[in-house]
Structure formats: C-alpha cells, structure tokens
Amino acid sequence: MFITKESLKEKGACGAGTRAFIERFPEGAEYQTILDALAAENNYEWASWLMHQFGTTDTVMEVNEINIEASLFFAGKIIVKGALKIAKWLLAGRGIEAGRGIEAGWGIEAGRGIKAGRGIKAGEGIEAGRGIEAGDGIEAGDGIEAGRGIKAGDGIEAGRGIEAGWGIEAGRGIEAGRGIKAGRGIKAGDGIEAGRGIEAGEGIEAGWGIEAGDDFGIYAGLKIRISQKKEYATIRAKEKPQNIVCGEFIEATDK
C-alpha cells in the first residue's frame, strides 16, 4: 500500500504529522516503510493512528528470533520460532506468535491474538483484539486486555486492571492492581486478588482465596439466566471471600 500526503489529509492527519511525513517522504512511501521509520523513532502514537486509519495487511513476518533495541511496528502478522524481545513498543496489525517468550520494555498490542510458548511480559500494557495465551505467565506493568480469552500456564499479573471478553484462566494466581473483569468465567490454580472489584459473566474459582479491594464487590454469574444461577453463578474458594455481591459461595475441597 502506497501512502501519500494526500492520503494522510483525507484521513484527517494532524498538521505536525503531515509536515513530518512530507519532510521525510516528499513523494510518498510504502505503508510498512513508514511504520519502520516511526518504529526507529519509537513513535507509538503516530504508528497506532496510522494502523487504525489504513488497517492491516496480509503480510507475514516469519523469522527464527527477534531482539531489537527499539520498537517494532508491523501491519501484518508476526511469527517467531524462538524468542521475541523488543526494548520499547511492540505493535502488530494482526497477530503475534512466538515459540518461546514475548517481551517488550514498553507495551504490546495486536489487532488479533497474542500467543507465546513461554511467558508474555510488558513494562506497560498488553492488549489484543482477540485472545492472549502463554505457556508460562503473563505480566504487565499496566493493564491486560483481550477481546476474547486470557490464558496462562502460570500466573497472570497486571499493575492495573485485567479484562477479557471471554474467560480468564491461570495455572497459578491472578493479581491486578485494579479490577478483574471477564465476560465468562475466572479460574486460578492459586488465589485471585484485585485492588478493586472482580466481575465474571459466569463462575469464579480459585485454588486458594479470592480477594477484592476494600469496599469493592465480587460478582459472579452476571450473564447467567436467573434459572441457572445456583448451578453456574458460583464462587469457589478455600474460604468464603468478603464482599460477595452476586453469586453463591461453594467451599473448595481438595481433590
């Protein structure tokens, strides 16, 4: 896709962005070439705007390993057989997949899913239009957000909130500095802890305890029919949590 100054003006680009583009690419440039230039400058805001305006591509970047001391902005899909490590921003128009871990010093964002054979870690937020899945843990200094489910073989930890359109599942604990919200169920092998409220469209289950922030509630079964509340709107844990607003507590037993 070839982008010109006229293309940017039609999309309503800001004056500063348009002037910078004309200075760098007076005759215009290919979409990915522009993203590469923005990545070299770690200019996430302009790259994100560009992708939202011009969309994704069917291009696939498939390599053995990536280790970059700057940002990586790619309009298509990124597939890495080994580890994917970016010092700053990692942004993909489509999905991101790695056979080993995915790590970014700043944020990670994908228009579709994010999947790693090992862990996923970001200094700031992690966001996916579809699901997020890791063989090990998922950790973000900011929030974690997925249009579909979030699943980790180990723990899930966020400095702010955790939100999934579908379910949230962790082999160990789930911890958020703010709220935890799932369109379906929430399940953790260990405990679940939130700085604010915990909300699930279906049930909530923890191997140990469930704890919401002071004066915040725990809500289970928000998307369950009234006739099915007793069966599916359940909260399972070793001990009954405080602040249950919606849902029926069931004491977890050792299997």
pLDDT in tens, 106-126: 999 999 999 999 999 999 999
Does residue 165 sit in the same domain as residue 253? yes
Task: Give the predicted TM-score (pTM) of the model.
Answer: 0.94
Does residue 82 sit in the same domain as residue 145? yes
Taking only the tens place, the pLDDT of each residue in 144-158 is: 999 999 999 999 999
The parent domain of residue 49 ranges over 2-54
Does residue 233 sit in the same domain as residue 147? no
Does residue 145 sit in the same domain as residue 183? no
Which pLDDT does position 2 carry in this prediction? 94
Q: pLDDT below 50 — which residues of the chain?
A: none
Does residue 64 sit in the same domain as residue 121? yes
Which pLDDT does position 44 carry in this prediction? 96
Does residue 131 sit in the same domain as residue 108? yes
Does residue 202 sit in the same domain as residue 242? yes
Indicate the number of domains in the chain: 3
Q: What is the DSSP string of the chain?
A: -EE-HHHHHHTT--HHHHHHHHHH-TT-EEHHHHHHHHHHTT-HHHHHHHHHHH---S-EEEES-EEESS-EEESSEEEESS-EEESS-EEESS-EEESS-EEESS-EEESS-EEESS-EEESS-EEESS-EEESS-EEESS-EEESS-EEESS-EEESS-EEESS-EEESS-EEESS-EEESS-EEESS-EEESS-EEESS-EEESS-EEPPTT--EE--TTS-GGGHHHHSEEEESSPPS-EEESEEEE----
Does residue 129 sit in the same domain as residue 161? no
Looking at 154, 177, 198, the residue that finishes a domain is: 154
Which pLDDT does position 255 carry in this prediction? 53
